[in-house]
Structure 1
Amino acid sequence: MSLIRIIVSAIYVVAQVLLVRPSLVEGRQTRNLLTGTLGHHHDTDLPRFAEEIQNVTVSVGRDALLACVVDNLRHYKVAWVRVDTQTILSIHQNVITQNPRISLTYNDHRSWYLHIKDVQEVDRGWYMCQVNTDPMKSRQGYVQVVVPPSIITKETSTDMVVREASNVTLTCKATGYPEPYVMWRREDGKNINYNGESVNVVDGEVLHIVKISRLHMGAYLCIASNGVPPSVSKRVSLRVQFPPMLSIPNQLEGAYIGQDVTLECHTEAYPNSINYWTTERGDMIVSGNSVSGDKYEAISTDSGYNKYMMLKIRNVGPKDFGSYKCVAQNSLGGTDGVIKLDGKSRNDNKKDNL
């Protein structure tokens, strides 16, 4: 046993003796006049607790207050004791503990208040209010210290870039009291394709995706909550790499001499691909350059990993008929698609308008 524990135990024993002594003296002085024997006061003469000590729930860092209300205290004394450690906190009007966060106030010799400032988790537990009657009377109250959730950064996944068809595991760890509930969801609110089902939320610390696809790409939120505000979240960006893929709505386009025509090509790729058009001879088409002039206008619109390509050919002439190729390339590979532009007569155009 350490020296400090011995000293604390000694103080506790002495204090208990001091607390009990008045009741013993009172007992000796109380004599039954009919029998001449020693006796005790009736219960109605002894101190009594006016109410139960209310349990307190407080967030860490806030202040807690326990109230002990005693009627008919007279010359008896009140003490506050930490039950689990048997530490004496106060004896009557004196604070005994060396904990600077604990203080005592009292009112009319009836209400005795134990104050705990800047409550910490170590303060969680039972507290006893004692009155030194013989036998001792006491009441207990519980201080519940709750802690808002906090995400453990070192044990939580960060932004990831993975190859399509691989397995991915996102992990999120959180602390708090009570133990936080952790869930995953997409930041954009879309459902998650998870274990063959489309779900909005995945419960638990781990989000494990088998054979990830480009549809899983996006930002995910790990959210931790335990009923103690505020809830917290961590954002994890998930990027899925795959080589370019290409689709062409119309592989055959027709135009008459002098008409403007637009060719369309859709691509998907991550990392973002380099997209361009070439002629049948393999020459790259650059919009508005000195060679092509205003003949061509190439437009590209991005939406995530999708890219929408258009090639507008103005004032189509006989030399413009033939094949055009849209090309997409990134670090993982490349792909291309061919669109054939055929000529049609004015009569064909009139038929189309009928």
Structure 2
Amino acid sequence: MGAVGIASILMFVGFDIGRLIDWMREASSKDGEEEAPTLVATGKKVVLDDRRYRVFRPHNSALSVLIIRRAKKKDAGIFRCNLSGSSTRHKYMILNVTESKIEARTSPTKQKVRVGKDVTLWCNATGYPKPVVYWTREDRNRRLPDGSYQYWGNGLTVGGASEADTGIYACYMDNFVQPVVSYRFTLMVEDSPWHVDAYKMRFDSSQWYSASSSIPKPVMGKSYLLMCETRGSPKPLPRVRWYRDGKEVRNNRHFYIIEDQPEWRTSYASSTLVIMRFVPRFQGNYTCVASNVFRMKKQTFYMHGYLSQEELDITTGGGAGVGAEKEQKLPLNRLTPGVGGGGGVEDIQTNIISSSKYPLNTGVVFDSTRVTSMRKSNRNRKEEDVEDAEEVGEAQEGYEDEEIEVGTPLGPTDDEDQTEGSADGTLH
């Protein structure tokens, strides 16, 4: 049997090394008409007018081989080989030419799996000649889960999937006749679902308030804190960035970002944006964006409106603190001793340490190096503080916005998962 597109070989062994061997194609019926027998070759000479036919006859051998290159369906039929001049010493051979093809069934081309679970990608190939199947990886990481660069077999199993297994895999099917057939598969290894919670605190607050709360309002010239923390078990830990009206906020003399990933909570991360001294131009929408290779979560603080010190005294009844304002409070585990003060860096640091993020019974101590650095930085800001005080005084007369240090634009606005597939299998 032969296949369309590949060479078909017919062999005959004679009994006399010196005798010629003839190859004949027997009569066949085509479209109801009988075709006469056709002489194909005699000895080594091909008589048929078709360059695809060749005869191979080794020296001093009785072997004769008829080769038909790039066989076609019309080449199918009955062939007879016999010793030249003899009508009795002959053999018949039947050549069937089958259409060459590759058919495949595959697993879904896009699959998701949790970290630590097993998953199998498969390509079942059939056809004639029977195809072989092999796998490669098509993204930056060229190594397959078993450490090799190429795997032969219908199924590729990824055991105990990890983040490194996220990528693009390809199976190739080849029967060495038809063009190679390939399929691509995208595998996404996901971590467990997690979320981001958002809270805010004023310099005189006794607790953290939800980001959706209408209080406490910022006070002119005083500090204000915005905090985002993860809830769940994100792996790997996400990176948190801050944006104001779509532009990234970085550390400068007006803003200070405190990152926290305590050793005693391996699946937790938080970031606090400290507005050192609030002035009218700092109003706007502040957004924290937490993202790892699998997800992106965000929360937005709507900072519009503020109080003067005089308005604060009236609102709180002569300095009773923000607790005097009526508002639904957070669970008791977030209540902390009242912290007052002028809103300096040291007061802010004390307020953060007093919050429930650092329960008193855990023995967690804030990074002393960071505190020392902030204190030195605070002393260096004396002249800048005077300028900020002047800004507060000028606020009633109007103030044009000043561009803060910014980075890349913020992305989507809703709190949603963001996952991407690419050739490198990575999020942007």
Q: What interval of TM-score do these two structures reach, taking the shorter chain for normalisation?
A: 0.3 to 0.5
Structure with more of its chain in strand, by fraction? 1
TM-score, normalising length: structure 2: 0.37
TM-score, normalising length: structure 1: 0.44
Larger relative CO (CA 8 A, sep 6+): 1 or 2? 2
